[in-house]
Amino acid sequence: MNGEQVRVVRAWEWARPERPARREVLSAVPQLEEARPPLLFVPGFGHGAWAFAEHWLEHAASRGFPAYALSLRGHGGSEPAPEATLRSYTHDVTQVAASLPRRAVLVGHGAGARVVAHALARYPARAAVLVAPVLGGWGTFGTALRRNPGGTLPAVFGGGLRLSRRQLFSRELSDGEARRHVARLGRAGRRAQWQLLTGRQPEPAVGRPPVLVLGSPDDRVVPAAALTRAARRYASAPLLFPGMGHDLMLDARWREPIDAILDWLEKDPAPAAG
Amino acid sequence: MSSSTDLGRAEPPPATSALTRDGRPVADRGDTVCVIGAGASGLTAVKNLAEQGFGVDCYERETGVGGAWNWRHDRSPVYASTHLISSRPFTQFPDFPMPDDWPDYPHHSQLLSYFERYADHFDLRRHIWFGTEVVRVEPVEGDRWDVTTRSTGGYGPERTSRYAAVVLANGHNWSPKLPRYEGLEGFRGEVMHASSYKDPAQLRGKRVLVVGAGNTGCDIAVEAAQQASRCWHSTRRGYWYAPKYVLGRPADQVNDTLLALRVPLRVRQWLYHWTLRLTVGDLTRFGLPKPDHRVYETHPIANSQLVYYVGHGEITPVPELARFHDRSVELTDGREIDPDLVVFATGYLPRFEFLEAKVLGDDEGVGRPRLWLNAFAAGHPTLAVVGLVQPDSGIFTISHWQSVLFARLLRLRASRPDGAAAFDRKVAAGLGERYSGAVKDSTRHWFEVGHANYLRALERALHDLEGAR
């Protein structure tokens, strides 16, 4: 965690509140209430709530966790928002989190992990899980450019970021399925894409949430070194799932990471120091 | 922690050898912190203390959360049409946003549902003992506190527990302040304080005199204009009646745009006067007195409708009252009016009847605590008052940060006593500090703070604490 100080005065944000937007929230709730904290899945850029509705929501619910996934504005079934910023996305996450019946666990995937990191400074989450986190900065850009120049370069000039099938999934996932998922990808706001590179780093989290970082060493979007760096920010080590692509929730072996997350939560991790 | 919903309250007091000064047994609650009141400020205190790892016992005299904002409570001052005066971003808890599809100025019933959701979301009810009122709070050796409670209404035995710290969040808008007038006792009409005003039906068809130009007074005057057969509105001086919207946006958001740009006070006052001239116009034309002060020097009034109804002749502005006669009221300009209902919207005074006035630095016993940051008393490092502010903006944001500061201070006291001692010195040096521009001297402005000045001071205090760790 960075050593920045808490911020009390936010005159600009008070003066210019975020525009409300219609948000898509998908959910799967266990039949019996088991006093487990609700999970809120936050998809990364281009993805929508559908990415979690595919496998993870139902699986979490079957293990007794109420599970929700939202589509950030401009994604999935949420309202179009071409001018969205990271701040608008953060607003979407805190709004949905605060609407849940109990203190939620925020689970962010890809650039959604960066949004979650911002949201943690605004909402005292029960815990946070960063899945294959793209926390931004120029290093991320370099990796993306090297691995997928054709899909990345247009984003520099305000175009959409296009992720390829091979960046997102391992070869274990059938081609048909991979194509189906890639066809559903949308794009994030132009300004939000830029802010991922140049924007301000997240402020320190409130409410001392324990944070788990996990990903795959064979991820072709987030290199293993970036995973380690992300985990170190939260004083831990990443949990690794070799052989999987960037989209752990859609890949062939989707069950392993979600089970690891739920196991971690069942152990009721202690609040972070601070 | 025991559950407060156990109706029988059968659990025996823990074995203990401590005794109160008058020899009754005391249940030692160890490091637990006591919070008095489960209104907005009490709830956020419970949440932030629990978040920092403290055990918390909260005592609430009513049977629900929400304090003043819960219309079911007999001490609640809300009336049917109460809406927020400050817009949503200024009013919500900073870490629990209100739904963004709510209006800019939510209704009091929405506020109550917001507090109930806050309590459930953070699982606060398990800390709260409902239907329990605090009778006495006494400091004992070791900076600890004996808190004596009993069932609301005085039934059942008293119980004393010893706590490591106490947060006073009993509110300051429930004990009516009633002015004295010559002949008031002999007045044959109906007289009420705004605290018992609930519904416009109380005004219907009557000749109503509303006294006081606070936000409540203005709201009631507007409702009297709509419902009563006649409405007089008596004010001590001319005020600036700010509309709730300027330039198409909530007025406080426009104001904070200037604050964010760090525009100096004088320039802001000038801009404000100018905006009001353009939007509201010259008030003396309507028979309202000219304000004897600049804006920001009295508590702001945000009411778009008052001037509208004055302009329609539905509200007659009148000066202060001189005396009451048997069927009429004499004004200071010699006129006499004949209302059959007088509503005193003359505000409230804080009351800490369970605590010796000296503890809060009120040595003369006038009822005005002398504190630093409106929250910390000298010589009592484990005591904090939360929510005792009259901000020109929302109060809950302030209560939140006050309780965050206190929770972190208590943690620091355990880990680094020298850092906490530095804080105590700052408290002693800063007693009675003001966080607003020059304001008119009145009990109305005892706790007046400018939200930007106050929160900046609080932010500095928080950063100093972090630095001390």
Ordered structural domains, chain A, with CATH: 11-266 (3.40.50.1820)
Q: What is the pLDDT of residues B90-100, one digit of tens each?
A: 999 999 999 99
Question: What pLDDT, on a 0 to 100 scale, did the predictor assign at position A6?
Answer: 86
Residues B368 and B446: beta-carbon distance below 8 Å: yes
> Is A199 in contact with A221 (CB distance < 8 Å)?
no
> Between chains, do A124 and B455 touch, taking CB under 8 Å as contact?
no
**At residue B24, does pLDDT exceed 90?**
no
**Is the pLDDT confidence value at A2 over 50?**
no
Over residues B93-143, the pLDDT tens digits come to: 999 999 999 999 999 999 999 999 999 999 999 999 999 999 999 999 999
Rounded to the nearest angstrom, the minimum Cα separation between A119 and chain B is: 9
| Distance from C-alpha of B423 to C-alpha of B402, rounded to nearest angstrom | 14
Q: What number is the average pLDDT over the span B46-51?
A: 97
Split at pLDDT 50, 70, 90, the class of B16 is: low
pLDDT tens-digit profile of A18-67? 999 999 999 999 988 888 999 999 999 999 999 999 999 999 999 999 99
The DSSP bridge partners found for residue B208 are B231, B341
Residue of B nearest to A93 (CA): B97
- Residue ranges of alpha helices (H) inside B210-323 are 215-227, 251-260, 265-279, 305-311
Q: Which residues contact B202 (CB under 8 A, 6 or more apart)?
A: B192, B341
In chain B, the residue whose alpha carbon lies closest to the alpha carbon of A3 is B466
Give per-residue pLDDT as tens, A97-142: 999 999 999 999 999 999 999 999 999 999 999 999 999 878 778 8
Judge: domain B178-346, CATH 3.40.50.720.
no
Percent share of chain B, pLDDT over 90: 75
Q: How far apart are CA B344 and CA B187, in angstroms?
A: 14
The secondary structure of residue A54, as a DSSP letter, is T
Q: For residue B4, is pLDDT > 60? A: no
Q: Does A68 lie at the interface with B, CB-CB under 8 angstroms? A: no
Q: How confident is the model at residue B213 (pLDDT cuts 50, 70, 90)?
A: very high
What Rg do the C-alpha atoms of chain B give, in angstroms?
A: 23
Task: Please give the CATH architecture assigned to the domain spanning B27-175+349-468.
Answer: 3-Layer(bba) Sandwich (3.50)
- Same fold: B27-175+349-468 with B178-346: yes
pLDDT value at B336 more than 60? yes
Length of chain A: 274
Burial bucket for residue A204 (CB in 10 Å: 0-12, 13-18, 19+): middle
Q: Which two tokens mark A54?
A: 């595919």
pLDDT at B12 over 60: no
The reported pTM is 0.93
Distance of residue A193 Cα from the nearest chain B Cα, in angstroms? 24
Whole-angstrom distance, CA of residue A72 vs CA of residue A109: 12
Cβ contacts below 8 Å, chain A against chain B, sum to 85
Q: What gap in Å lies between CA A120 and CA A128, rounded to an integer?
A: 8
Q: A98 in contact with B at a CB cutoff of 8 Å? A: yes
Cα–Cα nearest to B404, from A124, A128, A101, A94: A124
Q: What is the pLDDT of residues B259-292, one digit of tens each?
A: 888 888 889 889 988 888 888 888 888 888 888 8
Q: Is A32 on the interface with B (CB under 8 A)?
A: no
The answer for residues whose C-beta is within 8 angstroms of residue B204's C-beta and 6 or more apart is B227, B228
- Contact (CB<8Å) A103/B456: no
Contacts of B284 (CB under 8 A, 6+ apart): B238, B290
Taking contacts as CB-CB distances below 8 angstroms, the residues of chain A near B120 are 101-102
First vs last Cα of chain B: how many Å apart? 29
Interface mutation vs chain B, best among A4, A6, A8, A16, most B CBs within 10 Å:
A8
Which is nearest to A229 in space by CA: A146, A113, A115? A113
Q: What is the mean pLDDT of chain B?
A: 91
CB contact under 8 A, A11 and B259: yes
Do residue B96 and residue A98 have CB atoms under 8 angstroms apart? yes
> Measured at the alpha carbon of residue A163, what is the angle toward residues A162 and A167, in degrees to the nearest 5?
160
- CB-based contact, A122 to chain B, within 8 Å: yes
DSSP assignment of B38-76 equals -SHHHHHHHHHHHHTT--EEEEESSSSS-GGG-TTSTT-
Question: Hey, is the C-beta of A204 within 8 angstroms of any chain B C-beta?
Answer: no
pLDDT for B350: 92
Which of 60-89 (B) contact A at CB < 8 A? 88-89
Chain B touched by A12 (CB under 8 Å): yes
Supply A136's token pair: 């931004």
Report CB contact under 8 Å: A15, B259.
yes
H or E segment to which residue A60 belongs? helix A56-62
Q: Where are the domains of chain B?
A: 27-175+349-468, 178-346
For B407-442, write each residue's pLDDT tens digit: 999 999 999 999 899 999 999 999 988 998 778 778
**Closest C-alpha among B370, B389, B387, B386 to residue B378:** B370
| Mean pLDDT of the residues in chain A | 92
Chain A positions in Cβ-Cβ contact with residue B455 (cut-off 8 Å): 8-9
**Closest chain A residue by Cα to residue B91:** A14
Other C-beta atoms closer than 10 Å to the C-beta of B274 total 10
Chain B residue numbers with beta carbons less than 8 Å from the beta carbon of A6 are 404, 459, 462-463, 466
User: pLDDT-based confidence at A10, cuts 50/70/90?
Assistant: very high
What residues pair up with B149 in beta bridges, in sequence order? B134, B159
List residues bridging with B324 in a β-sheet. Answer: B329
